[in-house]
Structure 1
Amino acid sequence: MKPPSHPKELFPAEFGLYTELVGDIAAQLAATAAERDQAGGTALAERRLLRDSGLLALAVPRAHGGLQADWPLILRIVRRFAQADSSLAHLFGFQHLQVASVLLFGSPQQQQHYLQETVAQRWFWGNAVNARDARLRVWPTGDGYILDGIKAFCSGARDSDVLNVSVALGEQPHERLYAVVPTTRPGVQVNDDWDNMGQRQTDSGSVTFDKVLVRHDEVLGPPGPAGSVRATLRNLIGQLVLTEIYLGNAQGALDDAVAYLREHVRPWAMSGVEHAHQDAYAQLRAGGLWVKLRSAIALADDALAQFQQAWLAGDGLTAEARGELSIAIAAARIHAGRLALEITSDIFELMGARATTRRNAFDRYWRNVRVHTLHDPLDYRQKGVGSWLLTGQAPDPYGYG
């Protein structure tokens, strides 16, 4: 079997009718990904490419004008885009996470309005939902609520049309208000303050709310975030998006390393071979990384299939089934995260010192994964799996898992 010569060939059967479109977009993203990673800032042209593709409506039901794609397809596209450009894959994945928030939390009237507008206006959704940032305050008023304060890690907020905003209403994790706020509403200021070493074009900086009015009909619900077991699937979608970003970065890094080794690497003096790709140690290392990556992909694909079953169960989803699903997703994310850190570092053992130039920017794969794996530490996620294994206690559905 001939190995794939280009990342576009890796997952074609899984994309169905979207194969050519997804491949073309990924190729366009990849062409400038290294340069844009160094520049940072907002990827306006690339965001426009995603808007124009129609793929931002993948999770929207057909009843509201969308494409109603299954979640495994959506999330494999996240994986595919992450091979090319991890930042835009992040924005693409979080788009569907915000759409899912409307599907899971919103009333039928809210779903009809927000989802139809998502399709008709080609909305790009941003977010200000970081549950650990308690600086945003809320109080009721006659017309709804007033938001005042700041939220950090607001991925996709710049160049967005609407924001999904959450704020604590009480001490318990499930006591939260989720609302949809137009990004251009008076008092909303999206700050250009994202300057991290990875995910450079996710615009994951802060948003300031200066006494911003949120109307009653903009607060998602019923059922709201704590209205059903099914509503807690939102957090699991977020975990799956991160898992696919890890896998995409790992695959992209390995693809680049193999291509670079074939085309540019000179054989080590003591190898006794004419070409670097004939070096037994290079073959041993590359083969080991590929096998590990395939195992991580298989684990993630199993989690995707289980999630789709849970999604289709609707309000019949039980707390027990949700708990088992959360463990499957946690296992996939732990394995993918740690493996991605390994692969994105070890590719330099294949490519050598010449590959470390800033122009190549091969280090962006490691930086992207490293930033995301710290979002909530993998050690804590592994502890949650161990707690379930030894005590039967599933992770808190209203926390990070």
Structure 2
Amino acid sequence: MTVQDTVQDTGLRRVPYYGNASETELEQWREVAQQVAGTLVQDALERDRKNQQPFAEVQLLREAGLLNLLVPAEFGGAGAHWETAFDVVRILAAADGSIAQLLAYHYINQSGIAFYAPAEAQGKWWQRTVEGGWLWGDSVNPVDPDLTLSVEGDGYRLNGAKRFSTGSGVGEVIVINALVQGGEYDGQILAFVLPRDIEGLEIVEDWDYLGQRLSASNSLKYHNVRLEAEDLLGFVTDEPVSTLLTPGIQLAFANFYLGIAEGALERGKQILLGRKNAWLFSQADTYSQDPIFQRTVGELKARTAAVAALTEKLGRKFDALLSKAGDVTQPERAALAVEIAEAKVVSTEVGVEVANRIFEVTGSSSTASSVGLDLYWRNVRTHSLHDPVDYKKIEVGAYFLRGESQPLSLYT
């Protein structure tokens, strides 16, 4: 069997996501996420400083059932909804932004089964991911297009390099998108799923950045990697429902920026309540009773609550649109993408602001390395630079003023 033989009609006649999450589902998985977050928060700072590949953290996610949260129940998964997944990411981010990112990317990468694979091939992939307990990493950074996919007999050869390949250091499999050079599908983009230990794949452990240190976002080098028919996931197309992957990951970003903000607020609250004295000019007995500090915390809390209300609404809208599967229209897709861009803008700004200004109420002693309050700022500051938020503002403004949508990409 050749790669070409496996490429059937790529029209997504169905995706395995239907309806909206029930309150029972949301409560069940929020509880699971809180338990996992409770474990992660205990040594988040220590693990961050060690800057090691997060194999143990992935196993924690696996044992909690979170890796298969979005896998259809008929294939052994939880059969949950994206609203639930976004909530899980948000909860984990309050404890450990790196692991929240890792899980968010996993959900997006794994869902390539629904968005790229032809309907008749999806069952095989869902079964394999459940049976293998796979965490899905990726190697699709679109601003680093240095992969060469060339036809060779009944398969392909892959060469080149990719930076910022989240999850690649610990994922059982890695999704790659590459432009075909030559052959029947010349000029088209194919998605493949590669095992982490495939011959010719070099994992370069060079992720040494300000924050998100445990996201396993290494560089990858491909040295004449052979791709077979069974590695093919499908075509990357501009079908509206399949392109919802991009708004999906942007909404995941908004949720883990929100989660980081909530985590910083909670940690700041603990520090503030633990201070038994007050500023020497204050009329209050303690810092937490001082109206100046109450005002600052109240402002940050209110802005965070507003972002939460927006992201929660959009999680439900995302599920509702996915339920239409192949009937999703481009205008519907564009409208939701802009709403999610709005959430990306405010979650970025609020996340960075909260993680920064929480120091105003916790004081100079909270900057001690042993306190670790800087972890929230380092994480949100690092990832919020993923794609310039100013371009999201332009995306929103162009749509509002002129009804114009940005060109399709892995950012819009």
Normalised by the shorter chain, which TM-score bucket? over 0.9
Return the match for 1:81 from 92, 96, 121. 92
1:181 aligns with 194
Aligned residues: percent identity?
A: 31
Whichever residue aligns with residue 107 of structure 1, its letter is P
Report 1:7-46 matches (<5 A). 15-46=26-57
**CA, structure 1 residues 144+114, in 2 after alignment: closer, same or farther (shift >3 Å)?**
same
Return the match for 1:369 from 352, 370, 380. 380
| Contact in 1 for aligned 2:151/2:180 (Cα 8 Å) | no
The structural deviation recorded for 1:396 is 2.2
The structural deviation recorded for 1:359 is 1.2
The structural deviation recorded for 1:17 is 2.1
The structural deviation recorded for 1:378 is 0.3
| Contact in 2 for aligned 1:131/1:166 (Cα 8 Å) | no
The structural deviation recorded for 1:14 is 7.1
- Tell me the distance in 2 between the aligned counterparts of 1:385 and 1:259: 37
The structural deviation recorded for 1:157 is 0.7
| Contact in 1 for aligned 2:170/2:216 (Cα 8 Å) | no
2:252 aligns with 241
- Note if 1:218 corresponds to 2:231: yes
Whichever residue aligns with residue 211 of structure 2, its letter is G
**CA, structure 1 residues 184+232, in 2 after alignment: closer, same or farther (shift >3 Å)?**
same
| Contact in 2 for aligned 1:123/1:161 (Cα 8 Å) | yes
The answer for unaligned runs of 5 or more in structure 1 is 1-11
The structural deviation recorded for 1:204 is 0.7
- Tell me the distance in 1 between the aligned counterparts of 2:302 and 2:126: 41
The structural deviation recorded for 1:219 is 2.2
2:146 aligns with 135
- Tell me the distance in 1 between the aligned counterparts of 2:230 and 2:131: 20
- Note if 1:398 corresponds to 2:409: yes
The structural deviation recorded for 1:314 is 0.6
2:7 aligns with none
Whichever residue aligns with residue 201 of structure 1, its letter is L
SS state at 1:327 partner: helix
2:336 aligns with 325
- Tell me the distance in 1 between the aligned counterparts of 2:24 and 2:276: 33
Return the match for 1:334 from 330, 345, 349. 345
- Note if 1:388 corresponds to 2:383: no
1:272 aligns with 283
Return the match for 2:83 from 61, 68, 72. 72
2:315 aligns with 304
2:207 aligns with 194
- Note if 1:354 corresponds to 2:365: yes
Following superposition, which runs of at least 4 residues in structure 1 exceed 3 angstroms of deviation? none
**CA, structure 1 residues 208+110, in 2 after alignment: closer, same or farther (shift >3 Å)?**
farther
- Tell me the distance in 2 between the aligned counterparts of 1:149 and 1:351: 48
Return the match for 2:269 from 250, 253, 258. 258
| Contact in 1 for aligned 2:275/2:286 (Cα 8 Å) | no
Whichever residue aligns with residue 369 of structure 1, its letter is V
1:96-125: per-residue Cα shift (whole Å, max 9, x none)? 111111111012343222211111121111
- Tell me the distance in 2 between the aligned counterparts of 1:397 and 1:254: 36
- Note if 1:122 corresponds to 2:96: no
Count the aligned residue pairs: 385
The structural deviation recorded for 1:248 is 0.5
Whichever residue aligns with residue 62 of structure 1, its letter is A
| Contact in 1 for aligned 2:30/2:88 (Cα 8 Å) | no
- Tell me the distance in 1 between the aligned counterparts of 2:372 and 2:276: 16
More helix per residue: 1 or 2?
1
RCO higher in structure (CA 8 A, sep ≥6): 2
State TM-score, norm by structure 2. 0.90
- Tell me the distance in 2 between the aligned counterparts of 1:169 and 1:390: 38
- Tell me the distance in 2 between the aligned counterparts of 1:265 and 1:317: 57
The structural deviation recorded for 1:203 is 1.1
Q: Which moves more between the two structures, 46-55 or 337-346?
A: 46-55
State TM-score, norm by structure 1. 0.93
Superposition RMSD in Å: 1.6
The structural deviation recorded for 1:398 is 2.9
- Tell me the distance in 2 between the aligned counterparts of 1:301 and 1:265: 37
